[in-house]
Structure 1
């Protein structure tokens, strides 16, 4: 189906095309100078000590688990209201995801109280997802982690440049992962970034990113080394310079793009707050955030009603989505003992509306009007 108002639009122009072409013309298209440039931009813009470019966010999360020492037999607490990669990364290292509920429809991030309830002698870490780029309750989570000697991994794939009490998301826990997937705030098709303030973690991530090799091809080609050793069982999680060159242009555009998204969200919240029967998650947020998505949650509703309302919105030419199906309901994770009532309600009754900087006031007003009409049908 063709939509007049899509869910997302790429913020691309000739700058990305020219950057990719220049990388190709340079003769070096694998991991090289553009990846290094992108990493240094992250270090500066995110006020973090170390950044390691990655093939995607899932691989960055995998490395987060490895550098935090998570291993078979360990348990890691995480939300179920997120994309599957946030839990899959735990399984990759042989550990067990323990799913925690969210706070509520008004704050769809992991509930610190449920984190504390589910800590056992096997618990090694917490994976925190900042849904939509809105910060989780990090003060409470970090206090719990300190009390129980747990590592904190921030899945910040939704939140580039989002802040929590003056700190950039991804710089509060032990390490973090960002996504450059095609519909993210920074888009290269595939790609990601690992960040940390811990030198040992950064060095291990950089080593494991490329087969556990002590030097990389670009270093050898540049004359900085002539040989290498393999000192750990690593992976091929490298980003290439073509995508890095695109990410550099995207990162340059990001601050202005996020300012426009603030405008879009403000108009949404003003209009949607007048509609009975829905909640806008994080409506009271005052932090600077990325506004990656625009979720609403229906009240006193059912999955069937939600789906019918989505169909009505689609019929008006507006694309919507759902963020996300509950991970603990997927066949691979299904466990009869896992019961997350708030998560289950929200995943059955959430609708994601279009969100991108180029949305006009008229389009936003039309979406709000359509949502109101669809609710009353």
Structure 2
């Protein structure tokens, strides 16, 4: 295992990329989906299960962990890996998105953001330097710059102001991060739905020579075509030899279409949140287990799946669990969903290596269209 942070491309098929990120704590096969471990836990899952499903890396949330139990407490207890019993790589976000969306009484200026916790109302400050400090206390392997994420729609003036502020904060985060062998700090491309601003942001971040680059601000309710248009203008501006991460995205269809544009890494709460609300993802489309038509259905979600939650439990039983509010329902459906997402990523990786990514995409979308509920888009 390397002592450094390294990324290498193994194969390409069109713009789709098959690669590997190697770090002291492990190798991440890309394209990769990172299960979201918001508060030091992937909800409704044991970490052993998450690893067995094929996840190489998980995401931790700086905002939630700084508020409870605190980054300082986690550091005293040996860091987030030991605390959560996840020995592999961890990416932490900067906390900026949650500050903007969850915190109360926010005040943003050049220095950073002051806000009150959504939990107890206590006042906190989040500067670029403090964000990197918290992520260092958590001992994460990939750390994200602090940025301002503007919800769309927004005016071009507001989008430009936030993009330029995020670039200045990226410089400060880079300085605060310094040199940390085996770890990386990623910059975040902003610019909303304005192509010229996205290009300017990507070019400025590229000039900073960071270890990786994320595309932010595209999981905030905009139509899929807007997201894809922004990837079309952004990805060509990013260095080919560095990993590219699309933050907070998304559906299996979002992932397919983003991989086709050159994205390597994804995260989203969708598979875990959907599972807790009775929605299953399968290779034949989505299945809403709240629907009464499943009450007498003896079929499993997918008789060919390697995941016991998909293969060994009837839809009738899963429907019963969901309608009864039993915790096991959310656990089984989350297990199924994360298994499907990792199977989806493995299929993508295999297809890129075999130079048949377009065919795989067409076959996958055709299978979804024949499913219980269509489509994923």
Return the TM-score normalized by structure 2: 0.29
Bigger relative contact order (CA 8 A; separation at least 6): 1
- TM normalised by structure 1 equals 0.29
